[in-house]
Amino acid sequence: MDSTISRRPDARFLVAHPAHFIALGFGSGLAPRAPGTFGTLAALALYWLLALAMPPLAIAFLAVPLFFVGVWACGVTGRNLGVDDHGALVWDEIVAFLPLAALASGSLWLQALAFALFRLFDIWKPFPIRLFEARVKGGLGVMLDDLLAACYAYLVFALVIIAVHRLPS
């Protein structure tokens, strides 16, 4: 197989290597528009599926080994695409959002808030996310910027929850 492909991976590329299937978020990264949003939606669906068998805290901690799987899968897939951080690589969104989904598991409203905050910070990439994105390459770079976006989303999520609970009843 050729080591690089066209700018848009397809279903054939998705199934050509296990790393591709993982890095492209089981196919959600093939969305023609907003693949990161589709990857985050896949994370939400994965959370709901895992929640049938696991408590939220276990799902949140599952993100740790999945992060390292992502470093490998996104590294391999990025090399095969010829672009380190191709837009179709969405495993980083999936892994980074799982702990937020677990934190917000109390209601669909909270999950929607976590989803919106994560997408905001993943797209906006405030300091120092862009710095890390520019300097850290390969699979680690792909995974790291979304982890940092999730940290920002978590902080704002926690502040919103605290503020709402402090409102007079």
Residue 1 is predicted with a pLDDT of 41
Residue 136 is predicted with a pLDDT of 96
Residue 167 is predicted with a pLDDT of 84
Summarize pLDDT for 30-78 with one digit per residue, the tens.
999 999 999 999 999 999 999 999 999 999 999 999 999 999 999 999 9
Residue 95 is predicted with a pLDDT of 98
Beta strand extents in 26-94 (DSSP E only): none
Residue 83 is predicted with a pLDDT of 93
- Angle made by CA atoms 27, 31, 37, in degrees to the nearest 5: 95
d(CA 125, CA 119): 10
pTM of the model: 0.93
Residue 30 is predicted with a pLDDT of 98
Given a cut of 70, the residues of the chain with pLDDT beneath it are 1-7
With b for 16 or more beta-carbon neighbours within 10 A and e for fewer, the 97-129 pattern comes to bbbbbbbbbeeeebbebbbebbbebbeebeeeb
CA dist 133 → 84, 103, 130 (Å): 11, 26, 5
Residue 2 is predicted with a pLDDT of 42
Residue 61 is predicted with a pLDDT of 98
Residue 8 is predicted with a pLDDT of 87
